[in-house]
């Protein structure tokens, strides 16, 4: 299988790797650690990418992009994720918040929100999951009720990444109860709001986890006052926007790129030890490289479909299943390989161990993040069974 994107893409890949090598320390493992310097480094690097015109390459020029191809943006995704996402939380704004506002936002919302994202100056968080409404998102209980010319929002969100540092929240709330008005199904009567996290009616409580600080939080909304200008799209029709969001989000992270990079590092780091590893372990290593290719091919197919406006939730579910399994299966193989490294191994053995451990921790969360793998399987199976009727 030929994955060559041409000379322009390779030049871009070389440029991105050069910027990472120059501005990102070798031991950088992501922005969201106990060291505040890691977040500041990511914010600085994100602004650097924006200044170089590399942050939102495929965005239209009128929204702060370069009008580049989706394949050039794919190169950016791959290189950033392979190197522990030195853009920090900006991938959320770049990959799906911005494109969703382009598609559904008013001109005023586009003028307000898109330029700061394109400049790398703002962090967004996603107010979707709730207690008892994670995979079954449409069962959420956060409500937005009419109040004069605006709305008052009350409720709780959970597992909200980056809420402690975000300036804005992409919030889903129920505006019409099921059984009232035109809302006959739980997917109806939901609305998206764009709300500032600085409002005193919002309280954030961090949830400590093995992923490190900033990733998981509880967010409480106590009589949060918003206006009609904060509504994205049409009132009560938020579920149609959610479908777009999930497609952008699940495709926007090139998880296979980090798996591929770490797997290719292993023989070099192990050195002579590689030749005496059990054949079964090396066989599993080779199988994981094959699975990286499979996930990459699936991603490229979806990038092509998405650029033509033809991607479906079923297509994305198949990719999500493949890349989640790749994350977890490759992490197990890499942990076994890392255990084979002796203390006197040269070639960055200590850093390799740290990178592998970090990858393993993330892989455990991959099963439930961005929609559980069980829900993706249900979605895919329903589509396959339905096509045979």
Residue 385 CB neighbours (<10 A): 9
Cβ–Cβ under 8 Å, residues 177 and 146: no
- Which residues are known catalytic residues? 249
Task: Indicate the helix (H) or strand (E) that contains 288.
Answer: helix 279-307
- Could you say which DSSP state residue 95 is in? I
E strand map for the chain: 124-127, 143-147, 150-158, 168-174, 190-196, 202-206, 217-227, 231-232
> Are 56 and 94 in contact, with CB atoms under 8 Å apart?
yes
What is the C-alpha separation between 293 and 260, in angstroms, rounded? Answer: 8
Residues 6 or more apart whose Cβ sits within 8 Å of residue 2: none
* Pairing verdict, β 202-206 and 190-196: unpaired
311 C-beta neighbours (distance < 10 Å), count: 20
**How far apart (Å, rounded) are the C-alpha atoms in residues 332 and 89?**
26
Q: Is 121 helix (H, G, I), strand (E, B) or coil?
A: coil
> What is the three-class DSSP state of 179?
coil
Q: How many helices (H) and strands (E) does the chain have?
A: 12, 8
Please enumerate in sequence order all residues whose Cβ is within 8 A of that of 175, keeping only pairs 6 or more positions apart, or say none.
Answer: 143, 144, 145, 151, 189, 190, 191, 235, 236, 238
> Alpha-carbon distance 139 to 275, whole Å?
54
CA distance 137 to 15: 40
């Amino acid at each position: 299988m030929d994955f060559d994107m041409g000379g322009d893409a390779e030049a871009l890949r070389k440029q991105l790797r050069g910027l990472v090598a120059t501005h990102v320390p070798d031991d950088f493992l992501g922005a969201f650690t106990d060291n505040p310097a890691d977040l500041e480094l990511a914010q600085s690097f994100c602004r650097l990418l924006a200044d170089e015109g590399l942050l939102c390459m495929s965005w239209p020029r009128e929204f702060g992009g370069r009008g580049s191809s989706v394949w050039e943006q794919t190169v950016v995704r791959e290189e950033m994720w392979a190197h522990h996402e030195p853009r920090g939380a900006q991938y959320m704004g770049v990959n799906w918040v911005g494109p969703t506002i382009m598609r559904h936002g008013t001109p005023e919302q586009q003028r307000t929100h898109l330029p700061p994202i394109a400049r790398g100056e703002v962090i967004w968080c996603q107010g979707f999951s709730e207690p008892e409404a994670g995979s079954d998102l449409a069962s959420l209980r956060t409500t937005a009720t009419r109040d004069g010319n605006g709305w008052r929002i009350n409720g709780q969100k959970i597992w909200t990444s980056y809420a402690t540092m975000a300036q804005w929240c992409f919030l889903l709330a129920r505006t019409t109860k099921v059984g009232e008005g035109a809302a006959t199904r739980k997917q109806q009567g939901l609305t998206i709001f764009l709300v500032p996290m600085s409002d005193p009616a919002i309280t954030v409580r961090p949830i400590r986890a093995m992923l490190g600080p900033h990733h998981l939080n509880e967010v409480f909304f106590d009589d949060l006052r918003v206006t009609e200008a904060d509504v994205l799209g049409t009132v009560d029709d938020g579920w149609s926007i959610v479908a777009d969001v999930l497609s952008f989000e699940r495709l926007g992270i090139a998880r296979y790129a980090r798996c591929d990079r770490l797997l290719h590092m292993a023989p070099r780091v192990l050195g002579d030890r590689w030749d005496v590893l059990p054949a079964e372990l090396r066989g599993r290593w080779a199988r994981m490289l094959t699975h990286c290719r499979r996930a990459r091919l699936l991603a490229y197919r979806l990038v092509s479909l998405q650029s033509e406006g033809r991607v479906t939730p079923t297509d994305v579910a198949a990719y999500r299943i493949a890349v989640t399994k790749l994350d977890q299966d490759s992490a197990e193989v890499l942990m076994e390989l890392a255990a084979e490294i002796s203390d006197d191994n040269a070639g960055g053995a200590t850093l390799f161990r740290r990178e592998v451990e970090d990858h393993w921790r993330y892989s455990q969360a991959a099963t439930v993040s961005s929609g559980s793998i069980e829900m993706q399987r249900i979605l895919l199976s329903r589509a396959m069974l339905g096509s045979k009727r």
